[in-house]
Amino acid sequence: MCGLLGLITPDGSARTHEARVLGAMGCQRHRGPDEVGTWVDGDMAFGFNRLSIIDISHSHQPLRWGPPEQPDRYALVFNGEIYNYVELRAELTALGATFATEGDTEAIVAGYHQWGQDVVHRLRGMFAFLIWDTQEKTVFGARDPFGIKPLFVTRLADGAVAFSSEKKALLEMLGGNAAAGGVDPASLQHYLTLQYVPEPETIHASIRRLESGSYATVRPGSAPSVTRYFSPQFSVRPFTDATRQKRYDEIADVLSDSVAKHMRADVTVGSFLSGGIDSATIVALMAAGGGRPGRCHRVLLLPAPRRGHGPARPRRRRAARGRRHRPRLRRHGRVRQRHRHRA
């Protein structure tokens, strides 16, 4: 989890807003405790709070990239992880791209240079990013198909457009709740009825979300232009005795490949084991093909009067074989106390 922030000004005054960006970044420091970075030119200001997962010693953000003839054409901030970045880098290298790091961040911006907006169709992962093209004076931002990573957007009083991973950062830039238009009555009604606010709205009237599976382009002085690039399709496929084993094999292959890709990291990869069939399957696949020990955690809240909250059942133990299995016992009061401390 990282935190990004971007501000595109209508009048080329971005450099005068650097302190404002730094102040807003304090509202998302919990998203990225490892590094803090900023980058500013006349029209665009970027801020980034980094949690390092891949290419820890490099891939610092905001990141600059460009082709050999324009080495600093693009600036990028990116929250998430691209699981097929190794394959993308190999494909882009064959097309003439060069890389200065070993991470997944450069694969996004190099792919954007090569394929334009269609790069989103080639990214396999969870992501929210902003790319500033210094030549075209355009911001391109996108969210992953299922909206795992957040991206909020607002228009400031001076016409500037601001994006952030945290709504609190945008509230800081707007000047508080009143300046954000207060509570949106329709969103409040949705929340009280549904227990959530549907995209693209938020509880605040002037702050919106870039919808999942969508990208946006912005030029200085203009509002974001949003395009949906992904809509889930669930086609009906016959399931017969003749195709049963084939479907089982397909599911197993997809799960194995997904777990293997998710384990690409330069830090220890762990798992939370609840004992359900989903987490048990994932941990078993990690143990079978991970190639490194990793850690498996199970948190038990005490007192635990309900069935299934006692010692690990056989399914859990079998799934955790090959993992360092560490049950954690926590009483409800201690959990609340630790949560307050970390917040």
Q: Which residues are catalytic?
A: 2
Partner residues linked to 47 by β-bridges: 5, 38
Which class for 22: exposed (0-12), middle (13-18), buried (19 or more C-beta within 10 A)? middle
Three-state DSSP state, 122: helix
Best CA proximity match to 199, nearest among 207, 209, 189: 209
State the Cα–Cα distance between residues 80 and 51, nearest whole angstrom.
10
CA angle 277, 265, 29 (to 5 degrees): 95
User: Beta strands 214-218 and 44-50: pairing type?
Assistant: unpaired
Is the distance from CB of 45 to CB of 39 less than 8 angstroms?
A: yes
What does 275-334 look like in DSSP terms, one character per residue? SSHHHHHHHHHHHHH-SS--EEEEEEEES--STT-SSPPHHHHHHTTTSEEEEEEEEHHH
Partner residues linked to 324 by β-bridges: 295
